[in-house]
């Protein structure tokens, strides 16, 4: 199972925050507060990352089952997908404060921009890819990793975390 983080990896969280006049620092996950904007309004105006549809295509072409695994607000994120033409089942956008509880097999994969989530996933025995948004082209970095890993049976081993 491929588990894909939502904020940062799929949605331009920082860019969307800026449209509300809120400054967010890259890879700083402990400062965000919903006191200035509601999650419903935020995700109504949120934009997908420019690489989202290429990422979607790469995952669909892999023939691996995948789901969105997000810390919070799965309903709002599901609605965002539908607004962008992605008719993904509501049950496959999962909210989980501790994502590692969904790591059930050694070949379960997490793609996440939070290094702490990646470390917890790897510690639980799965394969984690740290989607580092601080890099100049995080999607190209991911594709380089993915193109090798997607051809390996059951994604053995962990590369990035």
Q: Residue 106: give its domain's CATH number.
A: 3.40.50.1000
Residue 160 lies in a domain: no
Supply the pLDDT for residue 156: 40
| Cα distance between residue 27 and residue 157, in whole Å | 25
How many domains is the chain partitioned into structurally?
A: 1
Residue 34 falls inside a structural domain:
no
Task: Output the pLDDT for position 151.
Answer: 63
Q: Is residue 96 part of a domain?
A: yes
pLDDT digits (tens, 9 = 90+) for 36-82: 899 999 999 999 999 999 999 888 887 778 899 999 999 999 999 99
**Which residue in 1, 10, 2 sits closest to 76, CA to CA?**
10
Note whether residue 155 is domain-resident.
Answer: no
Residue-wise burial string across 138-159, b where 16 or more C-beta atoms lie within 10 A, e elsewhere: bbebbbeebeebbeeeebeebe
pLDDT of residue 94: 95
Q: What is the pLDDT of the chain when averaged over all its residues?
A: 88
Weakly modelled stretches of the chain, pLDDT under 70: 150-161
Using a 10 angstrom Cβ sphere, with 0-12 exposed, 13-18 middle and 19 or more buried, the burial of residue 78 is buried
Domain-located, residue 101 = yes
Q: Is residue 71 part of a domain?
A: yes
Q: Say if 156 falls within a structural domain.
A: no
Full domain range(s) for residue 56: 2-29+43-149
Asked whether residue 158 is domain-assigned, the answer is: no
Predicted TM-score (pTM) above 0.85:
yes
- Return the pLDDT at 150: 62
């Amino acid at each position: 199972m491929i588990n894909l983080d939502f904020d940062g990896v799929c949605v331009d969280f920082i860019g969307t925050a800026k449209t509300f006049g809120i400054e967010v620092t890259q890879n700083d996950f402990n400062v965000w507060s919903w006191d200035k904007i509601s999650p419903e309004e935020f995700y109504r105006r949120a934009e997908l990352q420019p690489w989202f549809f290429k990422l979607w295509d790469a995952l669909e072409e892999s023939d691996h089952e995948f789901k969105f695994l997000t810390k919070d607000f799965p309903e709002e994120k599901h609605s965002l997908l539908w607004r962008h033409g992605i008719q993904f089942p509501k049950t496959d956008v999962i909210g989980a404060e501790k994502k590692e509880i969904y790591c059930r097999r050694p070949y379960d994969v997490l793609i996440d921009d939070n290094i702490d989530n990646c470390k917890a996933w790897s510690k639980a025995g799965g394969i984690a890819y740290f989607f580092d948004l601080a890099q100049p082209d995080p999607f190209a970095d991911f594709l380089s990793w993915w193109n090798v890993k997607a051809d390996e049976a059951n994604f053995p081993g962990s590369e990035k975390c």
